[in-house]
Amino acid sequence: MSNYQRFVLTDLTQSDLWVPELTLDSRAWPGRFPAPWKITKRTLRGGRRDGIDLIEVDNGILTFQILPTRGMGIWRGQFREMPLGWQAPVHGPVHPQYVNLLDRNGLGWLDGFDEWLVRCGLSSMGPPGIDPKTKEYLTLHGRIANQPAHYVEIRIHLDPPFELQVIGHVQETMLFAHDWLLKSTFTTTPGSSRLVVHDEIENRSMRTAELSLLYHINWGPPILGEGSRLLAPVQTMMPKDARAAEGLATWDLFDAPTPGFAEQVYFCELIADAGGQTLAMLQDPSQSRAAVLRWSKVELPYFILWKNTASMTEGYVTGLEPALQLPNFRASERDAGRLPMLQPGQSYRTTLAIELVDQMENVDDIRQEIASMGMPEP
Amino acid sequence: MSNYQRFVLTDLTQSDLWVPELTLDSRAWPGRFPAPWKITKRTLRGGRRDGIDLIEVDNGILTFQILPTRGMGIWRGQFREMPLGWQAPVHGPVHPQYVNLLDRNGLGWLDGFDEWLVRCGLSSMGPPGIDPKTKEYLTLHGRIANQPAHYVEIRIHLDPPFELQVIGHVQETMLFAHDWLLKSTFTTTPGSSRLVVHDEIENRSMRTAELSLLYHINWGPPILGEGSRLLAPVQTMMPKDARAAEGLATWDLFDAPTPGFAEQVYFCELIADAGGQTLAMLQDPSQSRAAVLRWSKVELPYFILWKNTASMTEGYVTGLEPALQLPNFRASERDAGRLPMLQPGQSYRTTLAIELVDQMENVDDIRQEIASMGMPEP
Amino acid sequence: MSNYQRFVLTDLTQSDLWVPELTLDSRAWPGRFPAPWKITKRTLRGGRRDGIDLIEVDNGILTFQILPTRGMGIWRGQFREMPLGWQAPVHGPVHPQYVNLLDRNGLGWLDGFDEWLVRCGLSSMGPPGIDPKTKEYLTLHGRIANQPAHYVEIRIHLDPPFELQVIGHVQETMLFAHDWLLKSTFTTTPGSSRLVVHDEIENRSMRTAELSLLYHINWGPPILGEGSRLLAPVQTMMPKDARAAEGLATWDLFDAPTPGFAEQVYFCELIADAGGQTLAMLQDPSQSRAAVLRWSKVELPYFILWKNTASMTEGYVTGLEPALQLPNFRASERDAGRLPMLQPGQSYRTTLAIELVDQMENVDDIRQEIASMGMPEP
């Protein structure tokens, strides 16, 4: 059985527990861990971030900042000296109190969008509009990113591989409608260049429910730059619209910041290995650094590339987005048969790894790994 | 003149006073009170409750938790070992910052709904829609439940019957439209099984205004269970719709939690005594415990029963709802002549008692009291 | 070069700085200043104001309370014994979390309106509606007043004239739409009866953008009273509508509080001096006290008078409003050619002085100054 210490930061289910500040440091367990690490929790104050809980995990070389108040998204990170995430026009993170999803003709979600990793879903995602079946007015990318966690826990595993875990539970519930429970676990280990996001999403309602889910994982400089490239074992790729079709020839290449650049979106299916695993890599212009995502195509069958290489002030960013379906309007995805139905009590599980690479030979290795997936087996 | 000590917790009218924490304990007045009691005030933190002020009154055997931040509603209570209120799907209470009344096609009020006692009103209640007279888009059950108190005071009366009072003032005001001032007083006494809610609602605007008001008082287990029963001196009863008509034969009886149960609503007028007083009782399956509401039919002429005996996770609950009118769309209530007009400066007063009973003979007594009200006087 | 000390209260751009409380007092620099002054910063708690940052500047005789959380508006002020601002029906100030701009058919802005000085803009102002050009649903008076500052700084100048400055930066940004940066500076000096508001508004987006801007500066008693009068070098004046036309003969005079008074609005162009400067004065009933606004007609070509002399509880108030255009629906102002287009990176600058006068001879002087502006130059 796992030997770990547990630190509950928030528990609003049975108790009324909320910890304002916490610091955990490997130095408190002398000689126990192979590398130093540190985890801190605090509440941000001022401006649009006022009241946001932030948990920063620093495993020694990789740092990431989890936002329980924003649906267990990740604000930003850092790998050695390299910042992870992007710089949105807004000075985020943005507390849900400053996000009105109904605003801007249903595009209000954009007002809170500045994370490195943000989930779209769970009852709907994609563009706003009235669902002809349910008559609901759906807003862009759904609600989960603006729901606060009601339960947050840190687990420090005391035996190899010494996992450092942050667990958060988030509800997306509407009386008389749906009731989703997201249990999210972020895992890394001391000195690792890898972060694993594991989600369990339970339909707690008493009716079958359609699940929408997309991981919007966003990269700006330095990984994104002129000459950056997406590599993935692409099986099929389809530009989302005429605007995306314009860039078809260079869909996997990135330009320098381009003022006024209008976004381009590409819908992909990737090749998976025998175990169902697939991956995508964003390599930097020098081909010596890269971000790699790994996940199961069984769990998340689609992959979307969002290119938004506008100017730095507008937001120079690309999104690598493993997803359960395409980010079209929900009714279209329903018609296309891409909305999984979860029975009452049923859970959907996903596991997603984010790896950072900063050695050219390692980037080469992954490039070869991707290339080999397109090959017929010997 | 009354001899009491006053503790002002919030005053945003003249001063800028807000007390973060307070504990009042009968032990600070040795020998003064016939039974021990305690009142505490704190601010809840984390999740959807972040920033909610909560005042807990424990009179020795009856406890109730007032939410100044949610329009002086009552979150939950406890009578001896018996919890009062219900378990909504959401982990509440829910701060108004997480409630967008416009959401869900005007049903956003439901996102904050998890209280034992919540007021619907004051400018409107009932379903959403555009009022044809005023052209306003009305949202479900109005605004008062999501308005914070700007004045809160505790009064400890030092002479018999040693009343313990919490007073809160809440505004529901719109420049160029309406301006309601709710002055609410909760009163209990040490060792009492009774809580009295007294409201004064003033039309502070310079125009006559239509007042809407319903007390949504909600009960889950253990008072609600399979075999629980509503008892009241019913004069007339009308199912709200076809769904309610289905359950007509057993409208006053409650089933076990039933997954997917669709709500049933019954509109009643009750018989009042010579003084205008009436009552309703919800007795538990064993008929040994009950909750009793007492109020003036002159003040609140209607009584609504809301049956929502869905599964525990969906919310197994019934609402006993004394009201100034029926919770139909405001325009319908206007047409039916059930919207009282308050003149500028005029106030409307209501008094509502909640009593808890946990002795079978006492339940019997109330059952007889109710039965006798249907009888012609000798 | 200017010799000043800087105190950063909020910086969410590079750092994550937010100062909960601060007091600066001239006594900390013994002998340095010609008159005593004090600046304090705190966060308001309770009711609708919960979480609002407030900076109070007291220059010895003039006090004003800046609200970084409400777009660097000014809540209230005081000049010697005279309160500045007005008493709205709501007990403000109102935190943006309690303002839903979409509410009340797009009039939700009114729910937060209780300041002495509030800006309308920046992407739009005026009444709500769907802009036929952009298809956006615009809400009353735009967003800037409900955006929190992400950067706040106090500057204490240590040489004559010993300026006391509060600087705040506020964003009004929408991904894929506009990106405004307001840099606001409030300046006064010890013992002065004058407050200067200097704004720089930068179009940080990569597209040309239409700027909307109006300074809604609001006065209640004692400057406003029965017999108060507006004086300004009026070139043209036009009642906004039939209701305003009713009061044309006495458009510059004010009545006593009148229950149910419906607002009257007058659109003006004023005469400016050779340097482009103009002014407006609201004199009190005794003609011994007055509020004077001075600004550049080049920067703010229009002046709007808002008369709302309703009862005290409804809000007895008048607004003196220098503006970049008229507060009509944005499409009308566009058609009229009154929406300045700012290029990417371009800034718009305004400077506005508020002076308080409490000597009859000084009121006379300004009256003569205004009268002389209507005269042809010799």
Distance CA B223, CA B217 (A): 13
pLDDT one-digit tens code per residue, B302-313: 999 999 999 999
Residues of B in contact with A205 (CB under 8 A): 89, 313-314
Can you tell me which residue has the tokens 């000597």?
C359
Q: Which residue in B45, B95, B111, B118 has the most chain A C-beta atoms within 10 A of its own C-beta, making it the best mutation to test that interface?
A: B45
Helix, strand, or coil here: C115?
Answer: coil
Residues of C in contact with A103 (CB under 8 A): 101-102
Contact at CB, B104 and A177, closer than 8 angstroms: yes
A377 pLDDT exceeds 50?
no
What is the maximum span of chain A, computed from C-alpha positions, in angstroms?
61
Indicate the residue type of B363: V
Q: What angle do CA C181, C186, C191 make, to 5 degrees?
A: 175
Provide, rounded to the nearest whole percent, the portion of chain B with pLDDT above 90.
97
Q: Which residue in chain C has the smallest CA separation from B172?
A: C90
SS3 helix, strand, coil % of chain C, rounded to 5? Answer: 15, 45, 45
Interface residues from chain B to C (CB-CB < 8 Å):
10, 12-13, 16-18, 20, 51, 53, 69, 96-97, 100-102, 135-137, 148-150, 171, 173-177, 179, 204-207, 344
For range C232-243, the mean pLDDT: 97
Can you tell me which residue has the tokens 């109904």?
A102
Contact at CB, A89 and C137, closer than 8 angstroms: no
Of A16, A51, A175, the CB nearest to B44: A16
Q: Are C190 and C164 contacting, i.e. CB atoms less than 8 angstroms apart?
A: yes
Find the Cα–Cα–Cα–Cα dihedral A118, A120, A122, A125, rounded to 10°. 170
- Core vs surface per residue C334-355: b (16+ CB within 10 A) or e: beeebbbebebeeebebbbbbb
For range C104-131, the mean pLDDT: 97
Contact at CB, A173 and B313, closer than 8 angstroms: no
Provide, rounded to the nearest whole percent, the portion of chain C with pLDDT above 90.
97
Q: Which residue in chain C has the smallest CA separation from A262?
A: C176
What 8-state DSSP symbol labels residue C253?
B
> In C19-97, which ranges are E strands?
22-25, 38-43, 53-58, 62-67, 73-79, 82-84
Going from the C-alpha of C348 to that of each of A126, C145, C196, the distances in angstroms are 37, 18, 17
C2 pLDDT exceeds 90?
no
| pLDDT, chain B, mean | 96
Number of Cβ within 10 Å of residue A248's Cβ equals: 12
Residues of C in contact with B52 (CB under 8 A): none
Q: What confidence score (pLDDT) does residue C220 get?
A: 98
Q: Which residue in C176, C180, C202 has the most chain A C-beta atoms within 10 A of its own C-beta, making it the best mutation to test that interface?
A: C176
B377 pLDDT exceeds 50?
no
pLDDT one-digit tens code per residue, A284-305: 999 999 999 999 999 999 999 9
- CA-based nearest distance A320→chain B, Å: 29
Closest CA to B268 of B239, B293, B308, B291: B239
Q: What confidence score (pLDDT) does residue C1 get?
A: 53
Question: In the structure encoding, which two tokens stand for residue B285, read together?
Answer: 């399956």
Contact at CB, B10 and C50, closer than 8 angstroms: no
pLDDT one-digit tens code per residue, C344-353: 999 999 999 9
Q: Are C254 and C224 contacting, i.e. CB atoms less than 8 angstroms apart?
A: yes
Contact at CB, A173 and B90, closer than 8 angstroms: yes
Q: Are A302 and A280 contacting, i.e. CB atoms less than 8 angstroms apart?
A: no
Distance CA C3, CA B378 (A): 94
Q: What confidence score (pLDDT) does residue C76 get?
A: 98
Q: What confidence score (pLDDT) does residue A367 get?
A: 97
Q: What is the 3 state secondary structure string of A124-155?
A: CCCCCEECCCCCCEECCCCCHHHCCEEEEEEE
Residues of B in contact with A124 (CB under 8 A): none
Residues of A in contact with B113 (CB under 8 A): 175
Helix, strand, or coil here: C2?
Answer: coil
Of B100, B174, B204, the CB nearest to C111: B174
Residues of A in contact with B218 (CB under 8 A): none
Bridge partner list, B169 = B151, B183
Contact at CB, B51 and C47, closer than 8 angstroms: no
Q: What confidence score (pLDDT) does residue B378 get?
A: 46
**Confidence at A2, pLDDT banded by 50, 70, 90:** confident
Q: Are A214 and A323 contacting, i.e. CB atoms less than 8 angstroms apart?
A: yes
Going from the C-alpha of B31 to that of each of B49, B189, B190, C250, the distances in angstroms are 38, 16, 13, 69
pTM (predicted TM-score): 0.97
Interface residues from chain A to C (CB-CB < 8 Å):
44-51, 88-91, 97-98, 100, 102-105, 110-111, 113, 259-260, 263, 310-311, 313-315
Interface residues from chain A to B (CB-CB < 8 Å):
10, 12-13, 16-18, 20, 51, 53, 69, 96-97, 100-102, 135-137, 148-150, 171, 173-177, 179, 204-207, 344
Q: Which residue in chain B has the smallest CA separation from A54?
A: B46
A375 pLDDT exceeds 70?
no
Question: In the structure encoding, which two tokens stand for residue C271, read together?
Answer: 């005469």
Provide, rounded to the nearest whole percent, the portion of chain C with pLDDT above 70.
99
Question: In the structure encoding, which two tokens stand for residue C42, read together?
Answer: 């705190």
Bridge partner list, B120 = B214
Residues of A in contact with B100 (CB under 8 A): 100-102
Q: Which residue in B8, B12, B98 has the most chain C C-beta atoms within 10 A of its own C-beta, making it the best mutation to test that interface?
A: B12
Can you tell me which residue has the tokens 């007609």?
C297
Contact at CB, B259 and A344, closer than 8 angstroms: yes
Of A100, A137, A179, the CB nearest to B105: A137
Contact at CB, C46 and B150, closer than 8 angstroms: yes
Contact at CB, B259 and A150, closer than 8 angstroms: no
Of B91, B98, B313, the CB nearest to A13: B91
Going from the C-alpha of C68 to that of each of A91, A93, C58, C93, C226, the distances in angstroms are 15, 18, 17, 12, 34
**Confidence at B374, pLDDT banded by 50, 70, 90:** confident
Q: Are B329 and B129 contacting, i.e. CB atoms less than 8 angstroms apart?
A: yes
Provide, rounded to the nearest whole percent, the portion of chain A with pLDDT above 90.
97
Contact at CB, C175 and A103, closer than 8 angstroms: no
- Core vs surface per residue C130-139: b (16+ CB within 10 A) or e: ebeeeebbbb
Q: What confidence score (pLDDT) does residue C14 get?
A: 85
Distance CA A208, CA A376 (A): 40
What 8-state DSSP symbol labels residue C310?
-
- CA-based nearest distance C259→chain B, Å: 6
- CA-based nearest distance C357→chain B, Å: 26
By CB neighbour count within 10 A (0-12 exposed, 13-18 middle, 19+ buried), where does A312 fall? middle
pLDDT one-digit tens code per residue, C6-63: 999 999 998 999 999 999 999 999 999 999 999 999 999 999 999 999 999 999 999 9
Distance CA A123, CA A212 (A): 6
How many residues in total does chain A contain? Answer: 378
Distance CA C354, CA C348 (A): 20
**Confidence at C377, pLDDT banded by 50, 70, 90:** very low
Q: How many CB pairs under 8 A join B and C?
A: 79
For range B9-31, the mean pLDDT: 96
Q: What confidence score (pLDDT) does residue A378 get?
A: 47
Chains with 3+ CB–CB pairs under 8 A to B are A, C
For range A204-222, the mean pLDDT: 97
Contact at CB, C104 and B204, closer than 8 angstroms: no
Bridge partner list, A67 = A73
Start-to-end C-alpha separation, chain C: 40
Q: What confidence score (pLDDT) does residue B14 get?
A: 85
Q: Are C244 and C327 contacting, i.e. CB atoms less than 8 angstroms apart?
A: no
Residues of A in contact with C51 (CB under 8 A): 50-51
At residue A69, what are phi and psi to the nearest 5 degrees? -70, -20
pLDDT one-digit tens code per residue, B257-287: 999 999 999 999 999 999 999 999 999 999 9
Q: What confidence score (pLDDT) does residue B1 get?
A: 53
Contact at CB, B48 and A177, closer than 8 angstroms: no
Distance CA C113, CA C44 (A): 17
Q: How many CB pairs under 8 A join A and B?
A: 79
Contact at CB, C98 and B96, closer than 8 angstroms: yes
Q: Which residue in A21, A218, A313, A316 has the most chain C C-beta atoms within 10 A of its own C-beta, making it the best mutation to test that interface?
A: A313
